[in-house]
Structure formats: structure tokens, C-alpha cells
Chains A and B, each alone.
Chain A
Amino acid sequence: MNDRPVSGRAMGCVGSKVGEWLLWGAIIAVALGVLRWIDLPEMLRRYGGDIVHLAVQHLGLAALSGGLAILVGIPVGIILSRPSFAKISEPGARVLTIGSTIPSLAILALSMSWLGIGTPPAVFALWAVTLLPIVRNTMAGLRGVDPYLLEAGRGMGMTPMQLLVRVELPNAMYVLLAGVRTALAINVGTVPMAFLIGGGGLGELIFTGIDLNEPAMMLAGAIPTAGLAVLVDFSLGLIAYYLVPRGVNPLR
């Protein structure tokens, strides 16, 4: 009777491992194809300095906007899901859903029209794009916690804060982190566009390469960008694996 869930978990683990290897295989195959098509040493010689400089800028944009979005998004999600905010949490969630259908490019444009050109509007736009899914998933995760768990916790004499930290957040963690993962994927995918409003980053190589019809230049921006996206997603998967308590973690 107790063996079934355990073996089920092991199966899930094997399944996700296979999926992961397939994914990596595909990435490597694509990378090899690309490498045969371009002259890698030549590319590095011509754009190496730019790549490093712009990648640092790129990472800075992503880290700053993403970090701020997490710092603001999770608390806002928590506050909106408190019973005292029940009145505004429903319409709030609807606004957020509509908000996340606005294309990133439009948000960049809006941000530029308001804050002008440069790094601040770029960071602000990226922050806004990243914020919405985080708030939404934090709310969804907390709202998805079984009400009987809350009653049990309250009935045992937990204060609202103890209930949040010991029961609500751990049980919402899986959904919450899935939101962070999606949000950062969107963020990293949008960072190249920040160049369009003067934010810098690897987008500079990509868009200039397109404009000048220079594939090597474009790829010098695109390959690190793609690598970065994969890296961010991978590390977040790893973090989620260890941060979500074992009892509520479908992966372990």
C-alpha cells in the first residue's frame, strides 16, 4: 500500500530524465549545425570584445529587472491573496491576466514613451513584463492551498504569519516557482529587444547584424542569448527541485 507512490515517483523521475536528455541532444545538434555554417574563430576574433561587454550588460539588465520583479511580485501576490484583500484580488487577477496578454514589444514602446530612451526605461519595461506572471502564480499557488490545511493550522493555534510561513508558502511553492521560471524565461527572451529603446545588451549585435545583413554578427548575439536562456531555465529548475519540500514536490 505504501509502495505505490514511491515507485510512481521513481517513474516520474526517469521520465523527466529522458526528456531532459532529448532536449540536450536537440540543442547540441542545432549548435553543431550552426557551427558548421559559420566560422567560429573568425567570429570570436571580430566580435569577441563586443560579446563580453554586451553580455555583461545583457545579464545586468536581466538580473536587475528579474530580481526586482521577484522582490516585488511575490510580496504583492501574497498581500493580494490575504482574506482582507479578497474584494480586490478577483478583479486584480483579471487585470493581471489581461496585462500579460500585452506583447513585450508594446510594453517597451509604452515605457519609452513615458521614460524616454536608455537603461531605466528598459529595466522598467522588463520588470513590468516579468512582474505579472510572478504575481499571478503567487496568487494562484496560495489560493490553491487546501482550505482545510488553513483551518487545521488556525485550529492548532498558528498566528497568520506562522500559517503563511509554515503552511501556505511551502504548499504554494511549486506553483509559485513555476511562475518565477516562466517569468524569467519571458524576461530573458525580451532582453534583446531592450536594445530597441537604447537599453544595450546582446540585442545590439542581433539587430545590427540583421540590419547589415551580416549573419556572423547576428549569431554572435543570438548564440549567447540562447545559451543564457537555457542556463537560466536550467538553474531555476534546479532551484525549484531543492526548494519545494519533498512532500509536495511532484518531481521527487
Chain B
Amino acid sequence: MIKLERLTKIYETPVRKVVAADHIDMEVPTGEICVLLGPSGCGKTTTLKMVNRIVTPTGGRVLIDGQDTTDIPTVELRRKIGYVIQQIGLFPNMTVEENICVVPRLLGWDAAKARRRAAELLELTALDPATFLKRYPKELSGGQQQRVGVARALAADPPVMLMDEPFGAIDPINRAAIQDEFLKLQEKLHKTILFVSHDIDEAVKMGDKIAIFRAGRLEQIDSPDNVLAHPAQPFIADFVGADRTIKRLGLIRVADAMTSDAPVLSLGADPVLAQAMLHESGAAALVIVTPEGKPHGFMTAASSFGPGSTCGHASTPIAASVSVAADLRTAVSRMFENDVEWLSCVDDEGRHVGALEMRRIRHLLGRTYEAGGRA
């Protein structure tokens, strides 16, 4: 756990005093990512650098797992903290392998073990070891350099990581890919991470918590959904954007929003039964599934059918479905594409496991505002 207590930094410039961090109080529980978010110059980097004492605090203290960091020799402290700087900072005189091995070698690992670790980490960050180990930083693209920067910070398996805009210098598509890979990695590694960003979308995606800074002060620290749903100040509401409620869609999985208790019928069932069930449940539509459980079509109260026909014949084909693993942003996008009010939700095998209605999404997002309280 990282705990900041009244952490303060005042820079004395010849012109005036700059209060870069003003009595910051916060904590990051073990295994969580906390994103420091805010406009340029608000003190995110300064706060981060006080944790590994690159910047010496003017006041307050930093505790890691309850231990005051001033009680640990600086060099020792830093070797236990993975550090990704804003400018990447790979050493140009060293190969990728040598860069990754820096901290392990400082810690006295033997060369063979450090090299094995380097190969393993490249694999983990989705770079082919055979191709990249012996390259120099200048022979890598920006995105590849950032991956190596992350691999280097992970090298000695530090429990705590400080990451200053680690995915800043890459195009949006590659950034999304690295973010996804890193989140997958974090599921396995459970590092305690302070992560600086000035991009609200990145913060919402990466953070278990978001800490919003302005002019050296910590203005709000909360879960991404609460920051979006209940910005504590007009400044934060502005900063997270007028479309903040749409952004919340990205935080909810289809699996958590769909209704899975609605009845379904198989292809061969009697349409009369379908009409009766629709009438009884009051649902707008009833999904007809194939023998494998895949969505085939749907019936409404208005569906017409001749005597002796089956549900298979009487149903209308389903226009669109969505994976249960997707988020609501994707789901809503698909609804708009197909001009429909609901989607069939399918699992990995493509089986229908529930339905997602627009009405339900509106309700889900709106509820937290009606109650006036927090979800």
C-alpha cells in the first residue's frame, strides 16, 4: 500500500514560490492502480517523484506498506520501485536486453538469470525476444520503446510501480492495444501502481481509482464511475467532459447490464405458446434459439403465423447481437448502427444468454442521479 500524508512540495524560483503539491493526502491499496489526472502543470509528476524521492518533499511523508520512505536508504528504496518516466529514458548506449537488466544487475543477480528475465519480460510485453533483445533503442519505434520502458520497470518484480504517462507518445490505436495488454498483465501481477495521465479516457480505463489534481491540490479521489457520475466541482465536471455519462458506458460490461431471466423458445415450439408467454411476461419480444442455443430470431405480440407453423417460421431474424464481455459503449453503438431497442447477448460460443435493452441502460445510468447519492 502506498500512503501519502500531507505531502507538500514548494519550488523556490527566483520569481516566486511555486506550490507544486499542496498537502496531498491519499492512499493506494495493494494491487490497485490509482491514476493521477489533471491539466498540465497541476503537480502530477511532482507528486509521483516524491514517492521515489527524485523530488525531496518540502513537507509531509510517504509510507509504503506502513514504512516511512525516509527510513529506507534512497538507493535501496528506488530499486524496489519500478519507474517509467514521462520521456521513456531508455539508455541509448545499451541494447534492449541490457536496458531491462539494469535493476536486476544492480541488485546483484547473476547475468544468466537477468538475461532469462529480460527475454521473459519482452514476451510479456508482446515483443519477440529473438528480434528485439539485441537491438538498440534507436532501432525501435516509439511504441516499442514504451513497451521496453515498461518491461524495464518490471524487471526486478517490484511490488510498487510509478508510471508517468507511460503510453503518452504513441498513436491512439497502439495506445489502446498497450493499455489492454498492460491491464491483462496487471491481472496477473497485482502491482500497486501510481499512474499519471492527462487523458480522462485513459484514466477511466486504467484506474481502480482516479485522483484529480488542480494547481497542486488533490480535488477528488474516487472510482472512475463516481468521478464521471458525481464530479465534486464544476472544474472536474468540465475536465471530464460534457459527455461524461456516455463515458460511463465504457465502465459497465454487457454481462452486468443484461436481463438473463427472459424466457426463450426453440425453433420447433408452437407460436401460440410464444404469444401466451409474451402476454404473460409483458416483454416486448421473445427470442427463438437454435438447438445449439444460438439466437435465430424473435417474436413480438404482432408476429403473425399460420396454423401448424413453428416459432422458427414465425420469427423475425435478429438484426444484431453483442458479446457479454463487451462494454455498454460497444453495445449502444451497435444499437444505433442497427436502429434497434435491444440486442441479443451471446457468450464466447455464440449462444444467446440474455437480452440488453436500451431502456435498461438508461435506467442503470440514470439511477445514480435520481437517488442523489452515490452508486
- Seen from chain A, the residues whose Cβ lies within 8 Å of a Cβ on chain B are 1-2, 5-6, 146, 148-149, 151-159, 162, 166-167, 170-171, 173, 245-248
Chain A nearest CB from B202 CB (Å) reads 21
Listed by A's residue number, 6 A-B pairs whose Cβ atoms lie within 8 Å are: A1-B141, A2-B141, A151-B54, A153-B102, A157-B78, A167-B91
- Extra contacts, 18 of them, besides A148-B85, A156-B103, A157-B76 (Cβ < 8 A), are A1-B141, A148-B88, A149-B91, A151-B85, A152-B85, A155-B78, A156-B79, A156-B83, A157-B78, A157-B79, A162-B106, A167-B91, A171-B93, A245-B93, A245-B94, A247-B93, A247-B137, A248-B93
B85: which A residues are within 8 A, CB to CB?
Answer: 148, 151-152, 155
CA–CA, A155 to B88, complex, Å? 12
Which of B79, B90, B92, B94: most chain A Cβ within 10 A? B92
Q: Is A157 a contact partner of B103 (Cβ separation < 8 A)? A: yes
CA–CA, A63 to B344, complex, Å? 85
CA–CA, A162 to B78, complex, Å? 14
A248: which B residues are within 8 A, CB to CB?
Answer: 92-93
Q: Is A170 a contact partner of B52 (Cβ separation < 8 A)? A: no
Chain A nearest CB from B141 CB (Å) reads 5
Of all chain B residues, the one with the shortest Cβ separation from A158 is B106
CA–CA, A156 to B77, complex, Å? 9
Q: Is B95 a contact partner of A155 (Cβ separation < 8 A)? A: no
Q: How many of B's residues come within 8 Å of A, CB to CB? A: 31
Chain B nearest CB from A139 CB (Å) reads 19
As a 0/1 sequence over residues 50 to 64 of chain B, the CB contacts with chain A under 8 angstroms (1 = contact) are: 001010000000000
A156: which B residues are within 8 A, CB to CB?
Answer: 78-79, 83, 102-103, 106, 152
B87: which A residues are within 8 A, CB to CB?
Answer: 146, 148
Chain B nearest CB from A150 CB (Å) reads 9
Q: Is B139 a contact partner of A152 (Cβ separation < 8 A)? A: no
As a 0/1 sequence over residues 227 to 265 of chain B, the CB contacts with chain A under 8 angstroms (1 = contact) are: 000000000000000000000000000000000000000
Contact of B95 among A1, A159, A247 (CB under 8 A): A247
Within 8 A of A (CB), among B67-115: 75-79, 81, 83, 85, 87-95, 102-103, 106
B138: which A residues are within 8 A, CB to CB?
Answer: 5, 247
Contact of A6 among B76, B81, B91, B139 (CB under 8 A): B139
Chain A nearest CB from B139 CB (Å) reads 6
Contact of B89 among A151, A158, A170, A247 (CB under 8 A): A151
B152: which A residues are within 8 A, CB to CB?
Answer: 156
A152: which B residues are within 8 A, CB to CB?
Answer: 83, 85, 89-91
Which of A157, A173, A246: most chain B Cβ within 10 A? A157
- Seen from chain B, the residues whose Cβ lies within 8 Å of a Cβ on chain A are 52, 54, 75-79, 81, 83, 85, 87-95, 102-103, 106, 135-141, 152, 162
CA–CA, A6 to B75, complex, Å? 37
Q: Is B94 a contact partner of A157 (Cβ separation < 8 A)? A: no
With A152-B83, A156-B106, A157-B75 already in contact, the answer to whether A2 and B139 are too (CB < 8 A) is yes
Chain A nearest CB from B323 CB (Å) reads 32
Q: Is B75 a contact partner of A153 (Cβ separation < 8 A)? A: no
Of all chain A residues, the one with the shortest Cβ separation from B149 is A152
Contact of B136 among A157, A159, A171, A247 (CB under 8 A): A247
Of all chain A residues, the one with the shortest Cβ separation from B54 is A155
With A6-B139, A247-B136 already in contact, the answer to whether A154 and B91 are too (CB < 8 A) is no
CA–CA, A162 to B79, complex, Å? 13
CA–CA, A158 to B79, complex, Å? 8
Which of B79, B89, B93: most chain A Cβ within 10 A? B93
A171: which B residues are within 8 A, CB to CB?
Answer: 91-93
Contact of B139 among A5, A155, A158, A162 (CB under 8 A): A5
CA–CA, A123 to B47, complex, Å? 55
Of all chain A residues, the one with the shortest Cβ separation from B103 is A156
Of all chain B residues, the one with the shortest Cβ separation from A162 is B106
CA–CA, A66 to B140, complex, Å? 40
Contact of B78 among A1, A154, A170 (CB under 8 A): A154
Chain A nearest CB from B171 CB (Å) reads 12
